[in-house]
Amino acid sequence: MFHAAASVACAALLLFVQAPSKQIIMTKPAPVGPYSPATKAGGFIYVSGTLAQDANGDMVGKGDIAAQTRQVVERIREVLKASGSSLEQVVAVTVYLKSAGDFAAMNDVYKTFWTANPPTRTTVISDLVLPEALVEMSMIAVPTGAERVVLHPEGWMKSPNPYSYAIKSGDTVFLSGLVSRNGKDNSVVPGDIIAQTKTVLDNAGELLKAAGLTHANVVSARIYLPDTSVFQQMNETYRTYFPSAPPARATVKMGLAGSQYAVEITMVASAAKKEVISDGRPANPNLSAAIRAGNKVYVSGMLGNTPETKGDTAAQTRETLTRIRRALEAAGCTPADVVDSLVYLTDLQNFAAMNGPYREFFQKDFPARATVQSGLVAADGLVEIMFTAVKQ
């Protein structure tokens, strides 16, 4: 999470620190936690989950989702400017809302920042690290002048919400969080988890086709389930679309913006050569431990729940990162190559316990990071971590 120590009030003091395969976009004073406000690597800029804080760390617009949305986007605008980019160059946004009831008010402010060709977007419901925060956003952008092409299948209706369904830059394609809708008229496609998963992945196929790709090109996926009791049913349908070399993946329990939806899936695809990376454990038919595509490595959400770590967040974090290290090393990477991180905690009271081992893992040159609360598929899991790395 991007805290006040990395405030846009210090924008004049922004500087770049060169790490082995990434640039750290930093402020003075440095952030208080083990994250960087943003990282730049492999043609993309990864912005940490950002809250509506001012230069002193105080929350702006307490109880006011419109004010907080505006502050969050304005803060990110300044970080992007310092990174050689802008809001117009954003390709993917993840919005974490504390309350689904704030969705419309957030949207009203959000759409004023992108009047044409908005980025792809995923919006889910989650508790945030600071209790007064109503919204958190993380973003991925490309530098000014880089390719940014909006993809839209022929015959599909333009989304009435302020997001594009898919955006291509170079060999990478970002898809919005997809729910069970008919692309031609935006109507809800009802049904159980099997029917909705099929609709989502069929729609993804149409978007990928517009990019000249197929499901086989998907390298990373995030799946959000309001009800994890349908996890195995979702998996059975999901596997039929990825019969071999499944993408890296994280699946968590989170609320969706619309109560009529049983699943939302966000995906990244790549035209680069795709290689499955093992972390040494038996293969999982639903996901690959990691996928290497070109110079990017996408690591699945991993857990560290064992009989020995049960009930201990620090121990689970340490074991999770040990497993991730094996996958990174198998892909020819080190922690220094990680550019983006997503941490799911079942209880935000365990934030500090997670942060200790996490800080030890990186030591310096921390990746961008978002940390939010979610339920995990493993009943005794306390933390799940997902990484993206770039090897130059």
**Domain contains 213:** yes
Indicate whether 18 and 119 sit together in one domain: yes
Indicate whether 339 and 307 sit together in one domain: yes
Indicate whether 13 and 135 sit together in one domain: yes
Task: Report DSSP state, residue 182.
Answer: -
Give the tokens for residue 252. Answer: 């968590």
Residue-level pLDDT at 5: 34
**Is residue 79 helix, strand or coil?**
helix
Burial (Cβ within 10 Å: 0-12, 13-18, ≥19) of residue 304: buried
C-alpha 211: how far from chain center: 21
Are the beta carbons of 25 and 37 closer than 8 angstroms? yes
**Domain contains 94:** yes
Which among 146, 177, 207 is the end of a domain? 146
Burial (Cβ within 10 Å: 0-12, 13-18, ≥19) of residue 311: exposed
CB neighbour burial string for 161-186, b if at least 16 within 10 angstroms, e if fewer: bbbbbbbbbbbbbbbbbbbbbebeee
Indicate whether 124 and 170 sit together in one domain: no
Which among 271, 286, 314 is the end of a domain? 271
Indicate whether 262 and 180 sit together in one domain: yes
Residue-level pLDDT at 58: 86
Among residues 333, 348, 349, the alpha carbon closest in space to that of 388 is found at 333
Residue-level pLDDT at 216: 98
pLDDT in tens, 184-213: 999 999 999 999 999 999 999 999 999 999
Instruction: For residue 227, give the CATH number of its domain.
Output: 3.30.1330.40
Strand ordering across the sheet containing 135-141: 15-18, 23-26, 38-41, 44-50, 135-141, 90-97, 120-125, 255-256
**Domain contains 291:** no
Radius of gyration of the chain (CA): 19
pTM for the whole structure: 0.94
Phi, psi angles (nearest 5°) of residue 390: -130, 125
Which among 146, 168, 190 is the end of a domain? 146
Provide the mean pLDDT of the chain.
93
pLDDT in tens, 286-307: 999 999 999 999 999 999 999 9
What's the one-letter identity of residue 314? A
Indicate whether 253 and 265 sit together in one domain: yes
Residue-level pLDDT at 120: 98
Residue 14 pLDDT grade (very low, low, confident, very high; cuts 50, 70, 90)? very low
What value does the mean pLDDT take over residues 378-386? 97
Residue-level pLDDT at 54: 86
Residue-level pLDDT at 31: 74
Residue 248: which domain range? 148-271
Residue-level pLDDT at 341: 98
Total domains, the chain = 3
